[in-house]
Every structure is written in structure tokens, then in C-alpha cells.
Structure 1
Amino acid sequence: MPKGRKSLPPLDYLLAFQVTGKTGSFTLASKELNISESSISRKVKLLEQHYGVQLFKRGHRSITITSEGFELLSSVSEALDILKEASSSLVEKETSNSITLAATNSVASLWLMPRLNKFQAVNPDLNIAIVSSDDDEECMAASNDLVILRGNGDWSNFHSELLFGETIFPVCSPNFLASNPDVTSKKYIQNMDLIDVASSHFEWMNWTTWLKSQRMNSPQSVRQTIVNTYPLAIQAAVDGLGVALGWQHLVDRYLDTGTLLCPLGDNHVKTSDGYYLLVPKN
């Protein structure tokens, strides 16, 4: 075997030796490295055979490091520290190029995803993980670097910046409008086939609260389509199942392409809330 190779024992031998030398015990080393005591002892023995020197004097219930072992321990500890630091730097560098962004289902699907390709083109070295959930606690989990939520801008553990306000209006497909021309009249909108979202967020606007803000009665339609996420409601409107509530910024691309339209024109409700980008204070 070439001499250069002989001078380099397996790393796990060195690690077993270093931890044993630090703790002064095969038993404690096995606990720290989470491997058996016999495995620790065997690796140290193989290291001694590799160098041809005794590194520990073994007693009945104890071990004592030899002068050769002490000299090697100093060098091995320093080398392992350098390796740990290099490894940590590499992991930190990799982590710094990754970001996890959490958002509500509506924002993630309708606002964020259509912009993601352009963002990645400008930031090709940034890896992005998207968490989509209507559970605020899940969105604000410590594992997420950035969060987009609806609210008033006041989150105690986060810095917040307004992305866009909340303006809401009816939307439907051109085909639905053609089959239901009365949908353009405000007084008939409550009688149309309406699409609504069933959510645990009672503060989110639905057809009942939208109509109430217009001083109108609750929905009178015999047929309603109820879904559990907002993107499904918009898809239902695109498919001509009825009239949904459209949030400005979230449905803009559908309006721009003519896939959806506003049957009541500029008739809308504007709230005091909005969608905010949240950054943890810590």
C-alpha cells in the first residue's frame, strides 16, 4: 500500500478515538456517538493497528490515554473542528440560498404561482419552497421564512408590509352571462346561481356579507355551489357554474384575458383589510 494512503485512516476511526479521548471512556463515547461500546472499542483498536502504536492503556474498568495518544488527540481534534466548521459553512451557504414562503391557498394559487416563473428567472440561484394553507398557524410556523396573510397588518411576532388591499366584486364567465343576461342587474344578482366558499375564517367575505354591504337580502338562489377553497370557487366560475366573488389582484389575470368578467361593472366592496407580507421579528 502506498505510504500516503497508509497515513490516512478511516474518518470513523478518528472520530471514535477523539470522542473516547475527550470523554475518557468507551462507554461515554458510545453514548455520544450513539453506537455500541464494542464498536467504539473496535474502531480504536483498528486505529492503533493502523499506526502501530498503543493509544490507550486499558485497565479492568478504565482506560488511560498514552503519550502517543495524547499527541494524536490534539491534532485529530483540531482537524475534526476544521471539518465541522467547513461542513457548517457549506450547509449555511446552501440554506441561505433557500427560502420557504407560506401563503393562503388563494394567494399561493392565484397570485404567487403566476409570478413565480418570472421571479426565478431574475433569481436563478434561489430555491423556493411554497407552503399553501388556509390555516394561519401553519402559515406562521417557525419553519417558514416569509408569510402572506390577510388581515389588518397587526401580528405581534412579525413585521408586516402591505402588498395590496381588499376589493371584492362579482365575477362570472362570458358563457354564464350569455345564458343569464339578468346577471348585469344588481337587483337580480341575489337570485343567480352563486358560488361560495365554506371556510372556518368567518371574517372572510362571502355572498351573505357582500350582499348585506349592498343593502340587499341574503342569497335567494335555489342552486348554490359550495367549495372549500377560493381557487376552486374561481375555477367553478370559469367553468360557468355561476357567479363568484372576485378579489382584485387575485382574479386580475382572468379579467385581463376575458376568461371572467364583472357583470355589475364597477360595483364593488372595499374593506379596511389587506394582504400583507410577514417577516418573523426574530
Structure 2
Amino acid sequence: MTTNSVSLPPLDYLLAFEATAESKSFVAASKRLNISETAISRKVRLLELHYGVPFFLRGHRSISITPQGELFLARVKPALEMLRSASQMTASDHKDRAVTLAATNSVAALWLMPRLQKLNRQNKHLKIMLVSSDDDNECLSDNVDLAILRGDGNWPGYHAELMFGETVFPVCSPSYLKANPSAADPLQIHDLDLIEVSSTHREWMNWRTWLENSGTPAGKLRQGSFFNTYPLSVQAAADGLGIALGWGHLVDPLLNEGKLVRPLGQAKVRTNHGYYLLKSERKKMFDECQVVEDWLHRQSAERSTAFRD
């Protein structure tokens, strides 16, 4: 009599039965599956109780398979082989498949790189190919799975989700502020060592536009240092070369570590742009992409909770 003719037994019961039936020994089966002989015996017994059928005759020091056991092995063996094959093929399909993640130079260097170690620790099977570029076309090439770009959320053919708004404020090193206390005065900051970024994006905020948007007369700006990438400008500020414009989500770690300070306190400019996570509407995402996407959104949510720019 069966306990339930419809329900399936746990897979580990079937694997214990198969190993025992083929080796004709609980001891040999335990070595094959790397679990104890007692555990093998218990799983086989629970399988027999599940079906109400004796699959083995147990002697004092030996066991032998019953006709019912032989028939059951013949029936389940093909199914178990199919499961093993499917598992191996799935693992093989994704074994060497890396997620290609593209981002602007600033996001890649200042936001992603400090966090990749955490992602790798949490997901040891993942492989990430990071593309760093300020060329939007390169970041949106066909071989890219996910991209983080700055814009207004409108990329035809792409699904865009906002990760960070854009909040901009002056930053400098504590030593620079100590040596130049006038940096704390918005009416005098234009006459100090202002660090600029030479960007091909015309909407990128520079010192003149920041001062105008903050309601501070720009006047004649002092000639400061120019860099072709934003990470270099941030490093220059941390090294005490002058005052740079800090994008909130990018300079958070340096502010927390005390390597940068905000000389004008909470003064800031909020724009209508932001940084978006993009994925093509034409491209089918694989499982690892979803893992990375979910992780990126969690990182963004943690930042939003910690900081209210």
C-alpha cells in the first residue's frame, strides 16, 4: 500500500536508493555520496515507507535488492540521468559567461570599484567585465549587458531606472580649507583655486554654472587646474590642489573618511539629470545579469537611505 501515489519523494532519498542499489552496500553508497552509512540507511528506509514497498532485504551483514527494487531502479535511473545532464549543461552554459557592465569613468572609478569586492564576496560565481568610458556609444554597444549613464532618463530602445539623482556641491581637503578659510564664503570662493573638468558633455556642470545656479555672483573666476576626467579632479581636491565640484554619490566615501570636506556646508545644486541603470529592450538578460542588476539597486537604495541630498 502506498502512502501517497502522486507525491514525489525528496531527491536525496532517490539518490541514496540509486547508490545503494548499484553498489549493493550501504557502506559503499555512503562513500559514493560522501554522507554517513546511517544517513544512507535512513533515507532508503524513508523511501520504502513513502511507497510502502520493500526495495531491499536486510541481512545481518549484507543487503540484497528485491524485484520491486530492481524494477524501481530501472524506472528512476533514466530520470536521474536526465537531471544530472540538465544540471551539468546549465552549469556549463553559464560557467564562463561574464556580465559586461559599462559606466562613465567617474562612476566606474569612484562608485563601482570600491564596491566590486563586496559583490565578489557575496557572489563568488559571478564574473564581471567592467567597461569604463565617457563615450555613451561605447557604453551602449551590443556586447554590454548593463550600463550606468548620466542623463534625463530618455534612451530610446533602453529600459532606464534611476539610481541616483544629481546633487553637486564644492569639496576640498581639510588642509586646503584650513589654509584658505575664505573658501567657506560663497562670495569669495570664485577667487580661489577652482578645479575644473574638461567634458564633451555640454550639460556637465562647471564652476560658473554651479555658482549661477546657487544664486552666487560668478564674477571673474580664478584660473585653476583642468583635468580631462572627473576622478582626477576629485583626487586633486583630496590632494589639496584646490576646490572641486563634488557629485554626491561619487564623493560620499571620501567625505566619510575625512579626506574631503564641504567648505560651504550644505550649499548644493540639484539638477534635473541623474544616473540611470540601462538595459536594452532588445537583448535577453541571463540569470547573472539579474543578480548584478538587483545588487546595484540595493547599493543605490542603501545610499538613498544614508544620505538625503
Q: Which residue of 2 aligns with 1:250?
A: 250
CA contact (8 A) 1:101 1:144 kept: yes
1:223 Cα deviation from its structure 2 partner = 3.4
1:152 Cα deviation from its structure 2 partner = 1.1
Q: Which residue of 2 aligns with 1:261?
A: 261
**Corresponding residue SS for 2:249:** coil
Distance between the aligned counterparts of 1:221 and 1:259, measured in 2? 25
Q: Which residue of 1 aligns with 2:129?
A: 129
Q: Which residue of 2 aligns with 1:153?
A: 153
Q: Deviations along 1:161-193, whole A, 9 cap, x unmatched?
A: 111100000000011001100100111111110
1:217 Cα deviation from its structure 2 partner = 3.6
Distance between the aligned counterparts of 2:228 and 2:218, measured in 1? 20
1:218 Cα deviation from its structure 2 partner = 3.5
Q: Which residue of 2 aligns with 1:94?
A: 95
Distance between the aligned counterparts of 1:153 and 1:95, measured in 2? 32
Q: Deviations along 1:231-262, whole A, 9 cap, x unmatched?
A: 00000001111000000010000000110000
Q: Which residue of 1 aligns with 2:106?
A: 106
Q: Which residue of 1 aligns with 2:53?
A: none
**Corresponding residue SS for 1:251:** helix
Q: Which residue of 1 aligns with 2:278?
A: 278
Q: Which residue of 2 aligns with 1:83?
A: none
RMSD of the alignment, in Å?
2.0
Q: Which residue of 1 aligns with 2:140?
A: 140
CA contact (8 A) 1:106 1:229 kept: yes
**Corresponding residue SS for 1:126:** coil
Q: TM-score, structure 1 length as denominator?
A: 0.66
**Corresponding residue SS for 1:276:** strand
CA contact (8 A) 1:207 1:219 kept: no
1:219 Cα deviation from its structure 2 partner = 6.0
The one-letter code of the counterpart of 1:93 is H
Q: TM-score, structure 2 length as denominator?
A: 0.61
1:212 aligns with 2:209: no
Q: Which residue of 2 aligns with 1:59?
A: none
1:157 Cα deviation from its structure 2 partner = 1.2
Distance between the aligned counterparts of 1:222 and 1:272, measured in 2? 28
CA contact (8 A) 2:160 2:277 kept: yes
Q: Which residue of 2 aligns with 1:233?
A: 233
1:89 Cα deviation from its structure 2 partner = 7.1
CA contact (8 A) 1:193 1:221 kept: no
The one-letter code of the counterpart of 2:94 is K
Distance between the aligned counterparts of 2:165 and 2:208, measured in 1? 21
Distance between the aligned counterparts of 1:90 and 1:113, measured in 2? 27
Residue 183 to residue 227, structure 1, CA distance change in 2 (3 Å): same
Aligned length: 197
Distance between the aligned counterparts of 1:90 and 1:257, measured in 2? 41
CA contact (8 A) 1:152 1:273 kept: yes
Q: Which residue of 2 aligns with 1:223?
A: 223
Which consecutive unaligned segments of at least 5 residues does structure 1 have? 1-87
The one-letter code of the counterpart of 2:225 is T
Q: Which residue of 2 aligns with 1:37?
A: none
1:132 Cα deviation from its structure 2 partner = 0.2
CA contact (8 A) 2:168 2:270 kept: yes
Which consecutive unaligned segments of at least 5 residues does structure 2 have? 1-88, 283-309
The one-letter code of the counterpart of 1:171 is V
Distance between the aligned counterparts of 1:275 and 1:201, measured in 2? 14
- The percentage of aligned residue pairs carrying the same residue is 52
Distance between the aligned counterparts of 1:184 and 1:89, measured in 2? 59
